[in-house]
Amino acid sequence: MRALLLLAALCGCIFASVWPLQMQCYHCEETLLNNDCSAAKFIVNCTANIQDACQKEVMVGTHGVSYRKACASYTTCLIASAGYQPFCSPGRVGSVCISCCNTPLCNGPRPPRISKAHTCTPLSLMLLLALTVTMATLSAILL
């Protein structure tokens, strides 16, 4: 049994090193704001073991906001991002902001923000349950 577990662990290590998971990112060149190239047709497979991150550039020009998205080396992306930091002023014409991330499709659309006013907390769920039980009890008494 021990030998079988050892063999399974060894095979797992070999498969993980020979066939690494391939990063996927959105890829496009200078797309204007009305299309931030976050549709499925812009998804590409990055080069395994080389491009381990996604990069997103947001550029504000006189004609609006444009995007550039691509696969990248995480280290190279961080260097580029730091180099453009003095030029990153969101909303200002001439601004160029570069961001780097290292999870699949992380340079795509931002997920919608959930307002705290609309989230259910355990306390609000308990109050809702208590109100429901009270209403059911009153309804049964009155009928």
Does 129 have pLDDT greater than 90? no
Question: What is the percent of the chain where pLDDT is above 70?
Answer: 58
CA–CA separation, 60 and 92 (whole Å)? 6
pLDDT class of 51 with cuts at 50, 70, 90: very high
Q: What is the mean pLDDT of residues 43-62?
A: 94
Structure confidence at residue 20 (pLDDT): 53
Distances (CA, A) of 20 to 46, 47, 52, 105, 116: 12, 11, 11, 17, 39
β-strand 43-45 against 96-101: which pairing, if any? unpaired
Contact (Cβ atoms closer than 8 angstroms) between residue 64 and residue 106: no
Q: What value does the CA radius of gyration of the chain take, rounded to a whole number of Å?
A: 25
**Cα–Cα distance, 45 to 47 (Å, whole number):** 7
- Range from 92-96, 120-124, 139-143 carrying the lowest mean pLDDT: 120-124
